[in-house]
């Protein structure tokens, strides 16, 4: 639930954060929590909260304090094991006024300090303000389900769930950080703490940041993905035992997410294995009506209706579908980017923005999704490609080894010349670097990096003068001891999962319409268990999510378990270049708009746009755009939209009156006059 | 059509369609797939261009990376597909 924001004076700055400014901040993120607003203010700090009420609707208001009103919290998210933690804390003598998980955090922090965070099983971004010691503590969940941004400037610290709340303060400079865009055009996301905006930091997932009264700060990383360094033979469970254990952990994780809510929780159904299994377990956890939601596409190549309906029928859910067209995608894209606050290389978030609107309109505030299964249990092709390339690299001259790609992509076997030779050439690149850390992801990063050819000369030199951080330069010390799969999983989790899938395609698209996502596969215990499994339980030969398919037997229709994995995609470039595309596309990719932003070489960008328009004008329906051109159009357009909305503007939707349900203001008028 | 002529046309096409820059550096032996200038769908764009411009027809078995992976390889391969000219100018490389 919720959106949080605040301002804290560090060091010598004395004037208290203004109420008007704090109100502007919470107004900027009101979509995250339109049910209630709250503010706390003292002479050094101001905290604001927009609430989406899901737990303890009557008394869970924020900001919330400890018994003596010295420790204050604003919190976005859920601590799913709060009931168990509360018992532990009561045994230690803590007394509670509410039934919320928020109050549990305050007491847990009093009892255990920073040691409380690893005890939480949940998804959170929070700020704790100790008004006695003038200490600010910020923390984020392990994997970064909930967002948190920080800005330090002129003796102050701003923090917020979304960057736009920080930009609500006009004194904060707004500028694109070339390093953040360079990373996005490599990894599909900027790498925390770098963001798209100069001076704005993203708090690292799984970390804590503490600001002390003297303005000093320190960061603590309490969690990173970790994999076994012991031989697979040492794993104590047989495949059957591990299957049973995983099933039990997933059921517990799903049950917690269904029952730890005082409102109904629904589920997404993509048509794939992960969300089907999640929905099945969710259905089992709670009596009554169970709402499910699916995206359908007018373009048949992306559509999965058959499998979605099969699952909905299996669990007898109240199923709703939304048909998405290219026109819909193009129309909502600017609003989508106002919520992602960063460029994207595919349009896939747009249908999810429309879907969460349907969820909200149907009266549901929280949904389960299958997000995380592919990263935890090796569902993606990139893992299988890495295994084949690894195997091939041991005999690079072998003609037989690369034939394994035909098992991965059956179409290769059907088209002897065309695709195969080209595809193999693509995967052959870097084969001699099999032992190096980025081996699994090098083909993707190399392809994506081609987008940088659109950078203007000035922008390129700005990147070169401050080279951005490389994900490979900050690996855990034991990375080199992990097997091929674990290394690839780690890289996938810290780049695409955290920075794109659960952010641009997850939290932001859900919260845009005030809907909370809950992800059983990202449960702390499920992640720990999956990461500890030997590789061959996850990827058996080339059989992906091997153990999960065993868990799903009898719970999910066989045709869903055994269907080839279909990545979730939506129509990309074609949505913006076909006849009848919205006028903003031409405006934002116009020579003058490109030159004003200064990021891209106007001639190159116009060249790509013209090429795609020409191709779209060709055959009516089935227009093949290359991967590079698709990423190019979507990447350029979304970057231009970020610039126009957040650098020229502040990214905040107009209107929105804020009436506080909770208002604690410890700065009296007299005190204020005393300082002036 | 001579090797140089094909080479020039391919240079121009790649600059215009993949690099979007008339002045971009592009080596004759640079691997187009390996350096990421052209991706696997892009190669198909290139192949249709060659079929139209050079009036050649490729068999499925022609369509392997080795024939199309650099401007020199493309030009040399086109020469083998063209009917022999009076001056035998297809026998290049």
pLDDT tens-digit readout, A481-512: 999 999 999 999 999 999 999 999 999 999 99
CATH value at residue B15: 1.10.1200.10
pLDDT at A14: 77
pLDDT top residue among A446 and A593: A593
The answer to whether B69 contacts A628, with C-beta atoms less than 8 Å apart, is no
Candidate from A83-87, A153-157, B82-86 with smallest mean pLDDT: B82-86
| Alpha-carbon span A325 to A571, nearest angstrom | 8
Count residue pairs from A and B with Cβ separation < 8 A. Answer: 80
**pLDDT surpassing 60 at residue A91:** yes
Q: How far apart are CA A92 and CA A47, in angstroms?
A: 29
Chain A positions in Cβ-Cβ contact with residue B43 (cut-off 8 Å): 422
**Domain that includes residue B47, residue range:** 3-81
Per-residue pLDDT band for A1 (boundaries 50, 70, 90) equals low
Chain A contact residues (CB < 8 Å to B): 415-426, 429, 446-447, 449-450, 453-454, 601, 603-608, 611, 624-629
When pLDDT is cut at 50, 70 and 90, the band that residue A564 belongs to is confident
Nearest residue of A to residue B45, measured between CA atoms: A626
Using a CB–CB cutoff of 8 Å, tell me whether B33 touches chain A. Answer: yes
Dist CA A494 CA A568 (whole Å)? 20
Q: Do A421 and B66 touch (CB under 8 A)?
A: yes
Q: Answer whether B44 sits within 8 Å of A624, measured CB to CB.
A: yes
User: What is the model's pLDDT at position A419?
Assistant: 60
- Please answer whether residues A200 and A166 qualify as being in contact, where contact means their C-beta atoms are separated by less than 8 angstroms: yes
Phi and psi of A321, rounded to 5°?
Answer: -120, 150
Give the one of B20, B36, B63 whose C-beta lies nearest to A608's C-beta: B20
In this structure, the dihedral spanned by the alpha carbons of residues A354, A359, A361 and A362, taken in order and rounded to 10 degrees, is 150
DSSP state of A313: H
- Domain membership of residue B45 (yes or no) is yes
pLDDT of B92 above 50 = no
pLDDT at A438 over 70: yes
**Cβ contacts (< 8 Å) between B31 and chain A: which residues?**
425
pLDDT tens digits along B36-50: 888 877 887 888 899
- When CB atoms are compared, the residue of A418, A423, A425 closest to B60 is A418
Mean pLDDT computed over A235-239: 97
- How far is the C-alpha of A384 from the C-alpha of A37, rounded, in Å? 48
Q: The complex's ipTM?
A: 0.78
Residue A60: band (very low, low, confident or very high) from pLDDT cuts 50, 70, 90:
confident
Whole-angstrom CA distances from A325 to A330, A411, A506, A572, A576 are 9, 27, 20, 11, 12
Q: Report the residue from A424, A606, A627 with minimal CB separation from B39.
A: A627
Return the higher-pLDDT residue of A362 and B84: A362
β-strand partners of A200: A151
Q: Which of A112, A137, A114 is nearest to A125 (CA)?
A: A137
Mutation site, A443, A626, A632, interface B, largest B CB count within 10 A = A626
For A540-556, what is each residue's pLDDT tens digit? Answer: 999 999 999 999 999 99
Q: Choose the closest CB to A422 out of B37, B61, B65.
A: B65
Locate CATH 3.40.50.620 in chain A.
232-377+489-561
d(Cα A278, Cα A269) in Å, to the nearest integer? Answer: 9
At residue B91, does pLDDT exceed 50? no
Cross-strand partners of A76: A125
How far is Cα A87 from Cα B18, in angstroms, rounded to an integer?
A: 63
CB count in 10 Å sphere of residue A318: 12
Span B77-90, mean pLDDT? Answer: 71
| Residue B14 included in any domain | yes
B65 touches chain A (CB under 8 A): yes
Please report the DSSP string for A26-64 in residue order: HHHTGGG-BSEEEEEE-SSEEEEEEE---S-TTT--SSE
Q: In the predicted model, what is the mean pLDDT of chain B?
A: 82
Angle at A507 between CA A182 and CA A180, to 5 degrees: 10
Q: pLDDT digits over A329-358, tens only?
A: 999 999 999 999 999 999 999 999 999 999
Give the residue range(s) of CATH 3.60.20.10 domains in chain A: 3-175+202-223+668-675
Closest CA–CA distance from residue A446 to any residue of chain B (Å): 7
Lowest mean pLDDT among A118-127, A422-431, A599-608, B50-59: A422-431
Shortest CA distance from A423: residue in chain B:
B40
Of A244, A199, A208, A26, whose CA–CA distance to A128 is shortest?
A208
Task: Please give the Cα distance from A471 to A461 (Å, whole number).
Answer: 21
Q: Nearest chain B Cα to A626, which residue?
A: B41
Pairing of the two strands A291-297 and A318-324 = parallel
pLDDT above 70 as % of chain A: 97
pLDDT of residue A417: 56
Q: Which residue of A has its CA nearest to B44?
A: A418
Domain A232-377+489-561 falls in which CATH fold? Rossmann fold (3.40.50)
Domain-located, residue B86 = no
Q: What mean pLDDT is predicted for residues A241-252?
A: 98
How near does any CA of chain A get to the CA of B86, in Å? Answer: 32
Residue A160, SS3? strand
By Cβ distance, the residue of B39, B59, B64 closest to A447 is B39
Cis peptide before A473 (omega within 30 of 0): no
Please measure the distance between the N-terminal and C-terminal CA atoms of chain B and give it in whole angstroms. 15
pLDDT at residue B26 tops 70: yes
Q: How confident is the model at residue B90 (pLDDT cuts 50, 70, 90)?
A: very low
Provide the total of helices (H) and of strands (E) in chain A, helices listed first. 29, 18
* pLDDT average, residue stretch A369-398: 94
Mark yes or no for CB contact A425/B61 under 8 Å: no
Q: Which residues of chain A make contact with B64, given a CB cutoff of 8 A? A: 417, 420-421
Distance from CA of A312 to the nearest CA of B (A): 37
Residue B38 lies in a domain: yes
Judge contact between A193 and A185, C-beta under 8 A.
Answer: no
Q: Which of B34, B38, B63 is nearest residue A417 as measured by Cβ atoms?
A: B63
Contact A124, A75 (CB under 8 A): yes
Per-residue confidence at B59, pLDDT binned at 50, 70, 90?
A: confident
DSSP code, position A543: B
Q: Which helix (H) or strand (E) holds A547?
A: helix A546-552
Cα distance between residue A19 and residue A7, in whole Å = 11
Determine the pLDDT at residue A429: 83
Percent of chain A with pLDDT over 90: 85
Per 3-state DSSP, what percentage of chain B is helix, strand, and coil (rounded to 5)?
Answer: 55, 0, 45
Q: In chain B, how many domains are there?
A: 1
| Residue, of B89 and B55, whose pLDDT is higher | B55
Label residues A528-567 b or e (16+ Cβ within 10 Å = b).
bbbbbbbbbbbbeebebbbbbbbbbeebbbeebbeeeeee
Q: Are A138 and A203 in contact (CB under 8 A)?
A: yes
Q: For residue A670, is pLDDT > 60?
A: no
pLDDT for A59: 84
* Torsion angles phi and psi, residue A78, rounded to 5: -140, 140
pLDDT higher than threshold 70 for residue A264: yes
What would the CATH number be for the domain defined by A3-175+202-223+668-675?
3.60.20.10
Cα-based distances in Å from A565 to A138, A407, A538: 38, 13, 15
Higher pLDDT, B34 or A21: A21
Task: Write out chain A residues lying below 8 Å of B66, CB-based.
Answer: 421
Averaged confidence pLDDT in chain A: 94
Burial of A361 (C-beta count, 10 Å sphere; 0-12/13-18/19+) = exposed
Whether residue A630 is predicted with pLDDT greater than 90 in this model: the reply is yes
CB A187 within 8 A of CB A473: no
Please state, in angstroms and as integers, the Cα–Cα distance from residue A640 to each residue in A111, A588, A591, B56, following that order. 48, 6, 12, 41
CB contact under 8 A, B36 and A626: no
**Cα–chain-centroid distance for residue A267?**
18
> Is residue A378 over pLDDT 80?
yes
| Higher per-residue pLDDT: A5 or A299 | A5
> What is residue A623's predicted lDDT score, i.e. its pLDDT?
58
The 8-class DSSP code of residue A583 comes to H
């Amino acid at each position: 639930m919720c959106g949080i924001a605040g301002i804290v004076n560090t060091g010598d700055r004395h004037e208290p954060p203004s109420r008007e400014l704090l109100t502007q901040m919470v107004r900027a993120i009101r979509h995250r929590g339109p049910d209630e607003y709250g503010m706390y203010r003292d002479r050094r700090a101001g905290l604001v909260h927009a609430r989406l009420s899901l737990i303890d609707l009557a008394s869970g208001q924020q900001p919330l304090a400890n018994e003596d009103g010295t420790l204050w919290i604003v919190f976005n998210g859920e601590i799913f094991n709060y009931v168990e933690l509360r018992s532990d804390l009561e045994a230690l003598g803590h007394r509670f006024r509410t039934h919320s998980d928020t109050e549990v955090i305050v007491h847990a922090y009093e009892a255990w300090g920073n040691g409380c965070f690893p005890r939480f099983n949940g998804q959170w971004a929070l700020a704790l303000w100790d008004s006695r010691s003038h200490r600010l503590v910020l923390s984020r969940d392990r994997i970064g389900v909930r967002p948190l941004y920080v800005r330090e400037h002129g003796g102050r610290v701003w923090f917020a769930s979304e960057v736009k709340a920080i930009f609500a303060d006009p004194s904060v400079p707004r500028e694109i950080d070339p390093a953040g865009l360079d990373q996005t055009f490599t990894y599909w996301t900027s790498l925390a703490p770098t963001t798209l905006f100069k001076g704005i930091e993203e708090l690292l997932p799984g970390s804590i940041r503490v600001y002390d009264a003297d303005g000093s700060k320190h960061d603590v990383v309490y969690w990173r993905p970790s994999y076994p360094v012991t031989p697979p033979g040492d794993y104590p469970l047989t495949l059957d035992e591990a299957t049973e254990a995983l099933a039990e952990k997933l059921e517990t994780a799903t049950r917690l997410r269904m029952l730890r809510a005082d409102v109904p929780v629904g589920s997404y159904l993509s048509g794939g294995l992960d969300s089907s299994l999640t929905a099945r377990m969710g259905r089992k956890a709670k009596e009554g009506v169970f709402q499910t939601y699916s995206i359908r596409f007018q373009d048949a190549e992306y559509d999965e209706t058959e499998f979605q309906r099969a699952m909905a029928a299996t669990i007898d859910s109240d199923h709703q579908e939304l048909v998405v067209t290219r026109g819909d995608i193009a129309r909502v894209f600017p609003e989508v980017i106002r919520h992602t606050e960063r460029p994207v290389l595919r349009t896939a978030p747009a249908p999810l923005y429309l879907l969460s609107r349907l969820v909200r309109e149907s009266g549901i505030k929280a949904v389960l999704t299958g997000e995380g299964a592919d990263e935890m249990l090796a569902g993606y092709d990139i893992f299988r490609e890495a295994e084949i390339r690894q195997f091939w690299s041991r005999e690079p001259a072998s003609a037989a080894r690369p034939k394994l790609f035909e098992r991965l992509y059956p179409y290769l076997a059907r088209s002897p010349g065309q695709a195969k030779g080209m595809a193999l050439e693509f995967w052959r690149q870097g084969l001699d670097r099999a032992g190096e850390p980025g081996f699994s992801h090098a083909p993707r990063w190399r392809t994506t990096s081609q987008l940088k050819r659109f950078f203007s000369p000035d922008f390129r030199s700005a990147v070169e003068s401050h080279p951005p951080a490389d994900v490979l330069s900050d690996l855990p010390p034991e990375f080199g001891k992990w097997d091929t799969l674990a290394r690839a999983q780690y890289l996938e989790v810290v780049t695409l999962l955290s920075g794109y899938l659960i952010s641009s395609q997850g939290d932001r698209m859900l919260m845009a319409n005030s809907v909370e996502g809950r992800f059983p596969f990202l449960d702390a215990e499920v992640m720990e268990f999956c990461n500890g499994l030997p590789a061959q339980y996850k990827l058996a030969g080339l059989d992906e999510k091997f153990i999960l398919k065993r868990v799903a037997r009898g719970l999910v229709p066989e045709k869903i378990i055994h269907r080839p994995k279909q990545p979730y995609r939506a129509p990309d470039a074609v949505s913006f270049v076909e006849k009848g595309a919205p006028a903003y596309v031409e405006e934002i990719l116009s020579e003058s708009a490109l030159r004003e932003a200064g990021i891209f070489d106007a001639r190159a960008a116009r060249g790509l746009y013209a090429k795609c328009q020409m191709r779209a004008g060709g055959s009516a329906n089935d227009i093949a755009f290359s991967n590079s051109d698709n990423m190019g159009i979507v990447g350029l357009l979304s970057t231009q939209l970020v610039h126009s909305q957040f650098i020229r503007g502040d990214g905040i939707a107009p209107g929105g009156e804020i009436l506080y349900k909770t208002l604690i203001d410890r700065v009296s008028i007299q005190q204020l006059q005393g300082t002036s | 059509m001579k090797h140089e002529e094909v080479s020039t046309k391919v240079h121009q096409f790649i600059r215009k369609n993949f690099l979007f820059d008339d002045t971009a550096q592009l080596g004759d032996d640079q691997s187009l797939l390996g350096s990421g200038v052209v991706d696997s769908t892009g190669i198909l764009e290139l192949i249709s261009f060659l079929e139209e411009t050079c009036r050649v027809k490729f068999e499925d078995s022609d369509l392997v990376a080795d024939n199309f992976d650099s401007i020199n390889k493309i030009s040399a391969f086109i020469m083998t597909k063209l009917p022999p000219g009076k001056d035998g100018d297809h026998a290049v490389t």
